[in-house]
Amino acid sequence: MRNNTEEKILLNRDGVDYISEYIILWLKRCGVSKRENLRVRLIMEDQLLNICEHFDEKAECTFVTGKKFGVPFVSVKYEGESYNPALGYELSEDLLANLGLSPRWSYRDGENTLYLRAPRETHKNEIILIIAVALAVLVGLLKFVLPQYIISAAATYALDPVSGAFMNILNTFVRLMIFFSVITGICSTDSLKDFRTMGKTIFGRLISRTVIGTGLCVICVFPLFDFVSGKDSGALQIDDLIKLIFSIFPKDPFTPFIEGDMLQIVFMAVLIGGVLLILENKVAEIKKIVEQLTLVFMQIMESVCKLLPVYIFTSLVTLFWNNGADVFVKLWKPILYCLILCFVLMLGKCIITALHFHISPLLLFSKIKKTVLIGLVTASSSTAVSEMLSINEKKLGISEKLDRFALPLCNILSSSACGVSFVIIISYLAEYHSVSVNIGWFVNMWILCSVMSLAAPPVSGGMLAVLGILMAQLGIPNAGLAVAALLGIVTDFISTSAKIGIIHCEMTLQADKLNMINRKILMSDKKTNTR
């Protein structure tokens, strides 16, 4: 079996079976895990059967397998009328593909194309990062046995240049990627009509819940950390508030990218995305270009962030040599606070949901605990997506139509737990580096953490890029970025787990509001097989 193949196949039942079996063999050869292999095969088979039925088993397709940037893909091209086999999926195909749910579908010059990349192995990435941290601690201990001149030379000529180069490359692309990602997310509802029905309600609730959850966390951190009070710390001055509000409006389209002002970048992205959504089909080609640019910058970020373990290693070794083991000993504090606040947030949401439906909170949690544990182990909500879909429909009684539409949105926009982790990390760094703060600083942190948790790029290293932006905006020295990176790795497991639990509860409440839920299934305490 060659690395790249192209084959003409008649899309009848036998043809679909042949392609399905070929996909399994191809992805197995490429080293894709059994779980992800099965997901890809089932997704493609479902779409191909739809094509087979639509064209009365007479469509001839070109079946292609290969690799792009080292990632395995499969695609199917078939001629005829425009037909998207993902019927009932009202969200952008590109967005669903990024979540590992569905192939991307396109139609051009009389040819339909289905394209699906193998899901990323997020769990392996996290393991590599943890290994990098462990090696950094071991090398850091060499401080006590190596001569000082060797340590100084290693830091000057190797460690500092490598970590500096990585951050320069990261900052070059992260602003553009967040800009295009926000626009793509807004345009993902495909039409203003869809947005006005389900999308408007879901967008509004998810964003408001993120802002509220992050704000509650900001209030909670006041007594948890020893902050250094700055000028006018007792009250938020009117002129500071006005300056904060109007600073979101950029003076030109280029300065925000040069200066890295993320509030202005997100504001421009929201404005452009809203206009594209209003104009709908009149700007279809522009929206397609924006989606393609989003994929381009995400791929660039994926490639850059393959060097993240190297950055983690070099930065933590330098930090250890400069500050000793004391900096690591104190990390229990933000990790414990993040664990407590994230799970209080999730359990609070479970209790509110259970009271709304007059069921036991324990019953509700027993239905969703499997995916909550998947998030805690893998730090990836995308890994749990297939199980989340099944639980939503078979245990919580959520309508399949709403589930397939809302879950990808929730995966992106339900970010209150992520906002909590950002607030905890930034607060700890402000305490550690004795950053002068006042009420205005906390308001700014609330706004920035809320916005950046919603706009965080969904790639390995995305959290590090966001933390770097938050630190720069809130006056925290760049020297704290290594600690921020380490905390980001650990708290990502915690916040992802809490996020999954919150998503289940939020979707259950939304389904009830839209009258798209089967209450009998939700209230049943029978154990249902989710497979």
Going by C-alpha positions, the residue among 374, 466, 389, 379 that lies closest to residue 422 is: 466
Q: Specify whether 106 is located in the same domain as 170.
A: no
**What is the pLDDT at residue 529?**
46
Residue closest to 349 by CA, chosen among 206, 522, 524: 206
Cβ neighbours of residue 49 under 8 Å, at least 6 residues apart?
16
Pair 89, 149 in one domain: no
- Most confident residue range from 11-25, 153-167, 352-366: 352-366
- Range with the poorest average pLDDT among 193-197, 327-331, 427-431: 193-197
Under DSSP, the state recorded for 225 is S
Range of the domain at 51: 5-119
| 119 secondary structure, DSSP code | P
Q: Both 333 and 466 in a single domain?
A: yes
Same-domain status, 49 and 152:
no
Cβ within 8 Å of residue 17, ≥6 positions away: none
The verdict on residue 101 lying in a domain is yes
Residue 272 falls inside a structural domain: yes
pLDDT of residue 347: 94
Identify the DSSP state of 120.
P
Give the range with max mean pLDDT: 159-163, 226-230, 365-369, 482-486: 365-369
Mean pLDDT of the chain: 78
Helices in 248-307 by DSSP H: which ranges?
255-259, 262-279, 284-304
Domain co-membership, 421 together with 506:
yes
Contact assessment for residue 456 and residue 463, using Cβ atoms and an 8 Å cutoff? yes
Q: What is the pLDDT of residue 155?
A: 83
Give 240's pLDDT tier (boundaries 50, 70, 90).
Answer: low
Tokens read off for 310: 């190297």
| Contact by Cβ (8 Å): 522, 399 | no
Over the Cα atoms of the chain, what is R_g?
24
| Residues 144, 286 within the same domain | yes
- DSSP-derived letter for residue 513 is H
339 inside domain: yes
* Residues in Cβ contact with 373 at an 8 Å cutoff, skipping those fewer than 6 apart: 497
Q: Is residue 239 in a domain?
A: no
Question: In the listed set 119, 148, 181, which residue is the last one of a domain according to the structure?
Answer: 119
* Contact yes or no for 392/407 (Cβ under 8 A): yes
Among residues 69, 91, 119, which one ends one of the domains? 119
**Which pTM does this prediction carry?**
0.65
386 domain residue, yes or no: yes
pLDDT of 101 higher than 70: no
Pairing of strands 228-229, 436-437: parallel
**Closest by Cα among 328, 506, 479, 318 to 412:** 506
Task: Reply yes or no on whether the pLDDT at 202 is more than 50.
Answer: yes
85: CATH = 3.30.565.10
Q: What is the pLDDT of residue 231?
A: 57
Using one digit for the tens of pLDDT, what is the confidence trace for 102-156?
Answer: 567 778 778 888 887 766 555 555 677 778 878 888 888 888 888 888 888 888 8
- Reported as a pLDDT band with limits 50, 70 and 90, residue 356 is very high
Statement to judge: residues 143 and 83 lie in one domain: no
Number of structural domains the chain divides into: 2
Domain-ending residue, one of 88, 103, 119: 119
Residue 21's SS3 state is helix
CB distance 220 to 420 below 8 Å: no
Kindly state whether residue 366 falls inside one of the protein's structural domains. Answer: yes
pLDDT in tens, 438-497: 888 888 889 888 888 876 655 555 677 778 878 888 888 877 777 887 788 788 889 889
User: What average pLDDT does the segment 47-73 reach?
Assistant: 82
Give the CATH number of the domain where residue 155 resides.
Answer: 1.10.3860
Query: Quick one: average pLDDT of 359-384?
Result: 82
Euclidean distance between CA atoms 176 and 253, whole angstroms: 12
pLDDT at 278 over 70: yes
With a cut of 60, say whether residue 271 has pLDDT above it: yes
Are residues 108 and 213 part of one domain?
no
**Helix, strand, or coil here: 228?**
strand
Per residue in 384-420, pLDDT (tens digit) is: 776 888 899 889 999 887 776 677 667 766 788 889 9
Question: In this predicted structure, what is the pLDDT of residue 530?
Answer: 44
Amino acid residing at 487: L
Contact 268, 283 (CB under 8 A): no
What's the pLDDT at 417? 87
Distances (CA, A) of 316 to 327, 491, 518: 10, 17, 51
Q: Are the CB atoms for 92 and 102 separated by under 8 Å? A: no
Determine contact, residues 263/247, Cβ cutoff 8 Å: yes
In a domain, 501, yes or no: yes
Nearest alpha carbon to residue 4 among 61, 74, 105, 106: 74
Domain membership of residue 132 (yes or no) is: yes
Q: 3-class SS at 113?
A: strand
> Are residues 151 and 74 part of one domain?
no
pLDDT at 197: 54
Q: In terms of domains, do 111 and 158 share one?
A: no
CA atoms of 448 and 266, how far apart (whole Å): 11
Residues in the chain: 531
**Are residue 91 and residue 138 in the same domain, yes or no?**
no
Q: Which of 333, 389, 308, 346 is nearest to 127 (CA)?
A: 308
Shared domain check, 165 and 86: no
